[in-house]
Structure 1
Amino acid sequence: MDQVGGILAQSVSAGINNIQSISYLSSKYDESYQEALSLAIAAARTKAEGMAQAAGCQLGEISALNEQSTYSEARYTDNALAEKTSMRAASMDTANVTIMPGELEVEASVIVEYGLLPGSGAQ
């Protein structure tokens, strides 16, 4: 990250006049995504158990499980940088280019269908 500002400054000095965005990726994204999937499935079970109990039933086995994928190679993009750089490219002080680290938000969404079993209070 410390070198990105210098590389951009050198690029502008060499004649580059359009920088559209910076994308942040993580070498641990897949590991984090697997953890997010596990948490999403656990959350779905907790919600389903509450709903089943409220209906006077017991939660059965999973009958269907689907991942709602939102995978994107560019998981974080600083689109605001495009506007900033296009307005200041010609007058940029190339010695003071600073790029801040980005943040990645890893989310997983699942659809889980459970069977319902009659409970002690079911009608």
Structure 2
Amino acid sequence: MKTPSILIVEDEVLAAESLRFTLEDLGYDVVGDICLDGREAVSLAKTLMPDLILMDMSLQGDLNGLSATKEILRERAVPIIFMTGYGDSQTLDRIRSSGAWGCLPKPVEEKKLAEVIAQALAATSQANRA
């Protein structure tokens, strides 16, 4: 069975590198370099075809995480999980309306990260078989 691939979209380099190590320790294949901005995220999602995307809300450049998510999902169905330090209801509503699969609070706990990724990949796998 193919190791699931994950694209990290995070504008804080240290947080992104820490996340990369965590994901690799969990057995995932982190594809591409750390993606810092929304336009790059859209481009890499098309070329690398990751099985899942971890997306930050606030990104460098003119395209934030919500807008990048909408553009990516127009091209193909891929589970996108947001990571955000904002837990207010308005932010969570905006995440839900973007089409994202889910949301994790920052700082992301490894156990919760592993659970949510496994759930998203399983749900996507089931949907693809149906």
Normalising by structure 2, we get a TM-score of 0.22
Greater fraction helix: 2
Larger RCO (CA under 8 A, 6+ residues apart) = 1
- Structure with higher Rg: it is 1
